[in-house]
Amino acid sequence: MEIKLEHGPSEEQLAKLGARGWPIWTKEVSTFPWHYDEPETCYLLEGDVIVTPADGGAPVRIQAGDLVTFPAGLSCTWEVRSPVRKHYRFG
């Protein structure tokens, strides 16, 4: 299962997705397991995270300004290295 990561998407692309109107989620520095029952697309406003897939896939570093899509069925560990603030959408 592949985590899709795009560094610095354009404002036009974010507007087309409606990303700035999505809810906001925040998380303090921490490490926790997560499972995606459905796809999630998010846009990081702040933070630094390393997401490590449980299936042995390569860890992915996500930082402020990144647009990320996590596939349904993905189990992973989130290592929040600096506090996160992100827009997100499931489905």
Supply the pLDDT for residue 81: 98
pLDDT tops 90 at residue 88: yes
Supply the pLDDT for residue 61: 98
Segment 3-56, tens digit of pLDDT:
999 999 999 999 999 999 999 999 999 999 999 999 999 999 999 999 999 999
pLDDT tops 90 at residue 91: yes
Supply the pLDDT for residue 1: 81
pTM given for the model: 0.94
For the residues of 21-87, what is the DSSP string, one character each? GS-EEEE-SEEEEEE-SS-EEEEEEEEEEEEEETTSPPPEEEETTEEEEEPTT-EEEEEEEEEEEEE
Amino acid, single-letter form, for residue 54: A
Tokens standing for residue 47: 């933070």
